[in-house]
Amino acid sequence: MDGVHDLGGMQNMGAVQLPEPNEPVFHEPWEARIFAIGALCQSRLTGANLDAFRFAIDRTPPDEYLALPYYNRWLRMAETLLTETGVLAPGAIDARVRRRLGERVAEPPAPEPNKPDYKATGPGSLRQVDDPPRFAAGQRVRTVDLQTSGHTRLPRYVRRREGVVDRVQPAMVLPDTNAHFIAENPQHVYSVRFDSTELWGPEAERFTTCVDLYESYLEAV
């Protein structure tokens, strides 16, 4: 999905936020609570996986994504996963807020659970893949023109670009299918090094960027 979360290379973003001296892990109690609820939302509460969790964060409304505190995205993620899997009815949170404020509103009843019928084949995201890696360190590769309204970890700024495989990483579950409970489809992963001029043109600062890309995002040059 070409969403607001895919930020790499956006311009006119203003100055970076400078490190806050002695920054606490959580700034306010609600941030800690939604972090913990969010952590439980994956798998245990909703049957969702890490990639479904990220795709739910990606779908935070863009104005909220940019303007509200970071943990608001976790709140949106929790609400999305809990309603999509039938743990919570749409509108249940707002109705409860109103009741806590003393309003006499009806709360929607808990819906029929709709957890995905899907099981991980192992812990975490690393998997064994029997086929050898298609690409080797030092090889030139090109990223595909991937267009999807679903989840992907191929950022916009490196689509249709040429780079060099810096190193081959362990094989991992493919987020693009796993996030939608279609299949784990594990693939080899490559750290692909791009020259700044390939990404941003001849006037760019001189540097390289390594991006970790799944095998199906790449083709041989």
Partner 1 sequence: MAIQTRTEESFTPAMRTEALEDILTERGLVDPKVLAGLIKNFEENVGPMNGARVVARAWVDPEFRARLLADATAASAELGYKGAQGECIVALENTDRVHHVVVCTLCSCYPWPLLGLPPGWYKDPAYRARVVREPRTVLAEFGLTLGAGVEVRVWDSTAEVRYLVLPQRPAGTEGLTEEELAALVTRDAMVGIASVAAPRR
- Assess 36 for contact with partner 1 (CB under 8 A): yes
123-149 residues labelled b (16+ CB within 10 A) or e (exposed): eebebeeeeebbbeeebebbbeeeeee
As a whole number of angstroms, the distance between CA 104 and CA 77 comes to 27
Instruction: Name the minimum Å distance from CB 159 to partner 1.
Output: 12
Q: Which stretch binds partner 1 (CB under 8 A): 5-13, 111-119, 129-137, 139-147?
A: 5-13
Tell the residue number behind the tokens 């780079």, with chain if given.
163
Choosing from 86, 118, 134, 157, the residue that interacts with partner 1 (CB under 8 A) is 157
Contacts for 124 with CB less than 8 Å, ≥ 6 apart? none
- Assess 108 for contact with partner 1 (CB under 8 A): no
Give, as ranges, the residues between 109 and 138 that touch partner 1 (CB under 8 A): 110, 124-126
Q: What is the total count of residues that contact partner 1 (CB under 8 A)? A: 90
Exposed (0-12), middle (13-18) or buried (19+): which is 191, by Cβ within 10 Å? middle
Q: Which stretch binds partner 1 (CB under 8 A): 77-85, 113-121, 133-141?
A: 77-85
- Assess 168 for contact with partner 1 (CB under 8 A): no
Instruction: Name the minimum Å distance from CB 55 to partner 1.
Output: 10
